[in-house]
Structure 1
Amino acid sequence: MTAYEIEPDLEFWLPVPREFPGDGFQTPEEWAEDLSQCAIPDDAGLRETYRQLAVDVAVNQFEESSHTFWYSPEDGHALGTAHLAIFEDDPESSLEEIARPEYESVTPLHLESFKSGVFGKVVQTASTIASEEIAFDQIQASAAIGHIRTVGRSHGMIFVLEAYDADLTTLGFMMEPMVEFFESVSFAEDDEGEES
């Protein structure tokens, strides 16, 4: 069986523990405190705001995702969350079909393909969903919610990285890093049949 490893650029992406206790942290609050101390050591007020945001990210992960990553660039220009789900490949479905959302976008659907050194091709869509059609507790109500979906296939698996945000500017900042994120994935044959 093929195992995968993800090593994202930590200047942009922070892996979020999927459960607690986990990854050396007993609680989301403990993880957020450690993260905020490292990220903002000299400003107590800003550090507390960052800590609260980190707690929100940790406790509001999508259950169907395999991994959660916090888009938290070092210069602080935007903060967003991306959820990575990994599925068994469906060879009869194109990447474009998989990347399209299940709903009708209230704005013109944007679909773009990119060459990938790891996946060969990565497809990304950008769409907008009316907020009354979506019920994610972690997203505040707004007239519309932006949705970025980035997909690639390799080694019999489909990787789907998604981000939702009411702040479309944040999603705009995340689009290119989400494509680049796919270059951080590597594959290796695992004799024990375990995936990381």
Structure 2
Amino acid sequence: MTSYRARPDQTAWLTVPSEFPWNGFGDDVAWAAEVAQDRVVEEAPVAVRTAVAESALAIVRSTPPLPGVLERFWWLPSIGGVGVVAHLSAVQLEGALVSEPLDAFALAGAGEWSRRSRRSKAPRSRKRSTACC
């Protein structure tokens, strides 16, 4: 299978590394500290920054719920909201993508494949979705 990367809006969805070093971060502690520094307003109490860093550490150290997770994203548009972690997996099911194999999806990216799917003449009974969560 061809590799690919999802790029959601990073102001709301934070990419959660699956291994370190990653993007200049030597370890999970450095990454969590940067998340807290970046996402918490300066005037927030130290306890809030600490709580965000601890949450980031817990998330990055957690084991995905299923094997084969390619990427993880943390929904963090603002501090204090509901926490969501999305796990991205891509699986090709026999007969599910008859006209376009999963490799075509990976090469084009989710947005392009989604646009082509809406224009395709696939039977209405076959639903195609790029939603992961």
- Shorter-chain TM-score: what band? 0.5 to 0.7
Q: How has the CA–CA distance of structure 1 residues 64 and 4 changed in structure 2, closer, same or farther, with 3 Å as cutoff? A: closer
Structure 1 runs (4+) greater than 3 angstroms displaced: 1-5
Larger Rg: 2
Q: How has the CA–CA distance of structure 1 residues 12 and 118 changed in structure 2, closer, same or farther, with 3 Å as cutoff? A: farther
Query: Aligned-pair RMSD on alpha carbons?
Result: 2.7
In structure 2, distance between residues paired with 1:75 and 1:2: 36
Q: How has the CA–CA distance of structure 1 residues 5 and 20 changed in structure 2, closer, same or farther, with 3 Å as cutoff? A: closer
Q: How has the CA–CA distance of structure 1 residues 20 and 5 changed in structure 2, closer, same or farther, with 3 Å as cutoff? A: closer
Q: Which residue in 2 is equivalent to 1:175?
A: none
- Number of equivalenced pairs: 105
Q: How has the CA–CA distance of structure 1 residues 24 and 72 changed in structure 2, closer, same or farther, with 3 Å as cutoff? A: same
Deviation for aligned residue 1:2: 5.3
Deviation for aligned residue 1:3: 5.3
Q: Deviations over 1:168-196 (max 9, x none)?
A: xxxxxxxxxx5xxxxxxxxxxxxxxxxxx
Deviation for aligned residue 1:35: 0.9
TM-score (normalizing by structure 2): 0.65
In structure 2, distance between residues paired with 1:59 and 1:82: 14
Q: How many percent of aligned residue pairs carry the same amino acid?
A: 25
* Structure with more strand by fraction: 1
In structure 2, distance between residues paired with 1:47 and 1:39: 9
In structure 2, distance between residues paired with 1:39 and 1:78: 15
Asked if the contact 1:20–1:26 (Cα under 8 Å) also holds between the matched residues in 2, the reply is yes
Task: Please list every run of 5 or more consecutive structure 1 residues that lacks an aligned counterpart in the other structure.
Answer: 95-115, 122-150, 154-159, 162-177, 179-196
In structure 2, distance between residues paired with 1:50 and 1:4: 29
* Structure with more helix by fraction: 2
In structure 1, distance between residues paired with 2:63 and 2:14: 14
Q: SS of the residue aligned with 2:56? A: helix
Q: SS of the residue aligned with 1:4? A: coil
Deviation for aligned residue 1:117: 6.3
